[in-house]
Structure 1
Amino acid sequence: MNFKSIIPIKEVSIKELFSFKMSFSNVTMAMITLGLVALFTAGAITYFIEGHHAYNVTREHPWGLIIGMYVFFVVSSTGLCIMSSIGHVFGVKEFEIIGKRAILGAILTICTGFLVIALEIGHPVRMVIYNILTPGFTSAIWWMGTLYGLYLCFIIFEFIFLIRNDHKWSKIFGLGGLLVGIAAHSNLGAVFGFLIARPIANGVFFPIYFILSAMITGSYLLFLMYGFRYKMNFPKEVEDMLVKLAKILGLLLAILMFFEIWRMLTSIYGGVPGRAEIAKHILMSPNFLVGEVLLGMLIPFIIILVSKGKNIKGLVWASILGMVGIFFMRYDLVHDTQLMPLQLLKIREYQLPPSLVEYFPSFAEIAISIGGIGVCLLVYYFAEKFFNLDYDK
């Protein structure tokens, strides 16, 4: 069977594959991408030589930057999947043009997330084997891995049928991918929400917050994808779609800020040991105030509010800041959850309260995590060469 009969692939020569228009933005992007890929390679080599000793994680702080980056990538994937479903699953015509590009992005980001976490798990092949042989139905992490594996299968088939312009089957697999993706992603939030020993995370907030923040992440990525695709010179139909997307993004950001305010208020007001202390620490942290609030929420929201969603070029640039803010959200989520030592629950009056757990990522952790972005960008570049990702009317 001819592979091209299953997935239409463009005929691309070696020269065309590695050629691009020589402009400042293209050359800069190429240099950044190759630099990040080199960084990832250096981090992976360090890990293969030194093993987990290359990481600064400890028994007190077992989840590090790589876990945060895994969450960053899978959140991006789910967000792109959800936003793409507005068009070809729910039939909103203006959003049909994003289907192929968004689903390709969803596939690449979740695969990059799997690649990154494979270098943290240590034995990913063994994990897959025992995930099947000895399933842990009461484990949120088992469900996370299983659901994300199923989700990846759905969106791969969805992409195949989108490329073939078979809208009947792409809608069926798109709906399946959407439902399983939401289940998987809310379950990822439950991995944190089920942590009774970590009061700052325990509760119903994270399963809902993960879905909301995923949609915001997907919106930021769509602005970046189309800003890069059209070099800020948008066709009318793309501009109309991005204006509507901006208004959706503004609403989502408003809801997220509402969520964050009440999360902090309920954490501080209750005076729960381990929750109020960490909430106060978070509120004084530059990661939260500058990274999450200013870059991740306020700047994009203000641009949308002032321009009524019509400043598309401004929103493309703001989406870069937004993605930086999303990164801090994921890192802080993992790090802040582990700040308070578990021994806090055993404190008596004659004991001194323990200090917060200190952690800073090692070179290998930083290289693998940040370098993973370069791997994703590089594969996306080649995918653009081989597939027609623009909408066929």
Structure 2
Amino acid sequence: MNFLRSIIPFNEVSLKDLFTFEKRFSNVTMALLTLGLLALFIAGAAIYFIEGHHSYNVYKQHPWGLIIGMYVFFVVSSTGLCIMSSLGHVFGIKEFEIIGKRAILGAIVTICSGFVVIALEIGHPIRMVIYNVLTPNFTSAIWWMGTLYGLYLCFIIMEFIFLMRDDHKWSKFFGLGGLLVGIAAHSNLGAVFGFLIARPIANGVFFPIYFILSAMITGSYLLFLMYGFRYKMDFPEEVKVMLTKLAKILGLLLAILMFFEIWRMFTTIYGGMPDKAEAAWHILTGPNFLIGEVLLGMVIPFIVILASKGKNIKGMVWASVTGMIGIFFMRYDLVHDTQLMPLNPLKLREYSVAPEFIEYFPSFSEIGIAIGGIGVCFVMYYFAEKLFNLDHDKKQH
């Protein structure tokens, strides 16, 4: 124990302390929600271990399902928190120095949650890691994704250790390394979709840029939620200053994202290319895009920021709840919409599917693992917050 404390300082807590919390309505509600999500994850995983991949509703024409979307949701969250945390201790913006420990811990927890979820989709995750090293495929975007995210996790763990030790020279070094590798990994994750020549709705340069932009927005939403829960909406002055500036940055990012989305749809529809235009119209007229992505994910938070000039911090915490729901729909739709159109049987004889939109709805096992993964994330963050002092110490700087 003393050896571990010499590496990374942590609080001396008993087992009783770990499971004790202040009996407030918000805390009790969060605890019940977490237990419910954790039970959902265990149920989904149990069905998977009994039935294998037959418990999933993915099939030959729709091989990527909800679990892939949830994996993307978690790694986007991690990259976003890493990018936003770098504003303080990497780039030296004073108001954001207070978020370093909490944001980087959040980045570690969310990417580990993503790895837990995707491990139940891969089938043989240990074998994957072994052959990822023994037989690398440098032309595969998915190989680069796994390699870069593994390296990224190592960087942010080291960054967190040095932040906890108040060693700002090395925390800045690993923070910069984590930022660069994280951006490379995340833009590469966008390329996994953008490289899909056989899927015209996804193919192109949009996704690598879009992934970085949406990651920064996701990280901003999560910071509002993390600090809103930490201070129970009663924010210290320095946190108010930081969150007000963060709201203004978020407003700019949302405006850019909406601009991107408008032009993405225009360029997809323009020219009437069958595989692209038909899928785009189907997406545009669906509730997932209009209500989930646009209204919840972008418009509501943008209006709250615009109406208060970023000063309505409590409003932004609640708007971040709708924002994260919208981000979930963005990730799910990204995976599903990419597979809307069947592959052309004239190009690939293996597929003899009628030219209709491909249907998919996740099974209970997929829903349990994916949505329940949020409970796994909550549990890891709760215990980490108990073990580590994540609040900013003014004497550090």
Instruction: Give the TM interval when normalised to the shorter protein.
Output: over 0.9
Question: How much has 1:352 moved relative to structure 2?
Answer: 10
Letter aligned with residue 230 of structure 2: R
Aligned ranges 1:78-157 → 2 under 5 Å: 78-157=79-158
Are 2:55 and 1:42 aligned?
Answer: no
Aligned ranges 1:170-249 → 2 under 5 Å: 170-249=171-250
> Size of the alignment, in residue pairs?
390
Structure 2 spans left out of the alignment, 5+ residues? none
Are 2:170 and 1:169 aligned?
Answer: yes
Could you tell which deviates more after superposition, 13-22 or 108-117?
Answer: 13-22
Aligned pair in 2 of structure 1 residues 39, 353: CA closer, same or farther (>3 Å)?
closer
State the distance in 2 between where 1:172 and 1:217 align.
24
Question: How much has 1:353 moved relative to structure 2?
Answer: 6.0
CA offsets, 1:298-354, max 9 Å, x none? 00000000000000000000100000000000000000000100026559xxx9961
Question: How much has 1:17 moved relative to structure 2?
Answer: 1.3
Partner of 1:73: 74
Structure 1 spans left out of the alignment, 5+ residues? none
Letter aligned with residue 369 of structure 1: A
Letter aligned with residue 255 of structure 2: A
State the distance in 1 between where 2:45 and 2:353 align.
41
Aligned pair in 2 of structure 1 residues 295, 345: CA closer, same or farther (>3 Å)?
farther
Look up the SS of the partner of 1:222 in the other structure: helix
Look up the SS of the partner of 1:275 in the other structure: helix
Letter aligned with residue 359 of structure 2: E
State the distance in 2 between where 1:332 and 1:303 align.
25
Letter aligned with residue 9 of structure 1: F
Look up the SS of the partner of 2:344 in the other structure: helix
Q: Is the 8 A contact 2:345 2:353 kept in 1?
A: no
CA offsets, 1:334-378, max 9 Å, x none? 00000100026559xxx9961111100000000000000001001
Same amino acid, percent of matched pairs: 81
Partner of 2:392: 391
Question: How much has 1:14 moved relative to structure 2?
Answer: 2.0
Aligned ranges 1:14-53 → 2 under 5 Å: 14-53=15-54
State the distance in 1 between where 2:101 and 2:297 align.
26
State the distance in 1 between where 2:109 and 2:14 align.
23
CA offsets, 1:91-123, max 9 Å, x none? 001000000000000001000001100000000
Aligned ranges 1:242-281 → 2 under 5 Å: 242-281=243-282
Q: Is the 8 A contact 1:76 1:106 kept in 2?
A: yes
State the distance in 2 between where 1:78 and 1:270 align.
35
Look up the SS of the partner of 2:270 in the other structure: helix
Q: Is the 8 A contact 1:199 1:272 kept in 2?
A: no
Could you tell which deviates more after superposition, 1-10 or 205-214?
Answer: 1-10
Q: Is the 8 A contact 1:274 1:344 kept in 2?
A: no
Q: Is the 8 A contact 1:131 1:142 kept in 2?
A: yes
Q: Is the 8 A contact 1:344 1:354 kept in 2?
A: no
Q: Is the 8 A contact 2:342 2:353 kept in 1?
A: no
State the distance in 1 between where 2:69 and 2:324 align.
14
Letter aligned with residue 256 of structure 1: L
Deviating beyond 3 angstroms after TM superposition, the runs of 4 or more aligned structure 1 residues are 344-347
State the distance in 1 between where 2:47 and 2:16 align.
33
Q: What TM-score comes out, normalization by structure 1 length?
A: 0.98
CA offsets, 1:277-304, max 9 Å, x none? 0100010010000000000000000000
State the distance in 1 between where 2:310 and 2:114 align.
31
Question: How much has 1:18 moved relative to structure 2?
Answer: 1.1
State the distance in 1 between where 2:343 and 2:175 align.
42
State the distance in 2 between where 1:314 and 1:97 align.
21
Look up the SS of the partner of 2:182 in the other structure: helix
Partner of 1:299: 300
Aligned pair in 2 of structure 1 residues 277, 106: CA closer, same or farther (>3 Å)?
same
Letter aligned with residue 312 of structure 1: I
State the distance in 2 between where 1:139 and 1:17 align.
43
Letter aligned with residue 242 of structure 1: L
Partner of 1:328: 329
